[in-house]
Amino acid sequence: MAKIALSFGVFDGIHPGHLFFLENAKKYGDQLMISLARDEIVLEMKGIEPMYDFNTRKALLEETGLVDRVVKGDHEIGTFRSVSLVQPQIICLGYDQIQLNDSLKIWMKQYNILIPTIKIEPFHPEKYKSSLLNKAVE
């Protein structure tokens, strides 16, 4: 049985930091699955719509060749439908996904689920962080 690693994100335009993250997350499983945030959830979380719609962001992820499958993220923040759907053996989070990590721990405790979670270290976050790069585009 293949070991599945699951990661979460918006991936609103792929930059070197994303590629570094995906390359490292892929090392933790035979398959890397991504729970990609829906457009309406991005708006709810960040207060702005993503630059690219869901289908474009999905295609950009798939074009990297690093992702085995992209699933739609939650309709409602914190329900972690994709974890139930994918049933990963490990979850890889970005260094800045602190709130997501906290919510995930609460959810796992609530449902008595134990999936190891690891944090992928950043790749030049002062340079390759989506919020910084998106401001440069504005």
- Give me 111's structure tokens: 């449902």
- Report the CATH fold assignment for 4-137: Rossmann fold (3.40.50)
* pLDDT of the residue at 136: 41
Q: Could you report the average pLDDT of every consecutive run of 10 residues in the chain (138 residues)?
A: 95 94 97 98 94 98 98 95 96 95 97 97 70 44
* pLDDT of the residue at 123: 81
* pLDDT of the residue at 93: 98
Residue 113 identity (one-letter amino acid): I
Sheet holding 31-36, edge to edge: 69-72, 31-36, 4-9, 90-94, 117-120
What are the boundaries of each domain within the chain? 4-137
- From residue 37, alpha-carbon distances to 20, 55, 72, 124 in Å are 19, 11, 6, 23
Cα angle for residues 103, 52, 15 (degrees, 5° grid): 75
Query: Is 108 within 8 Å of 115 (Cβ atoms)?
Result: yes
* pLDDT of the residue at 99: 94
- Give me 21's structure tokens: 């993250």
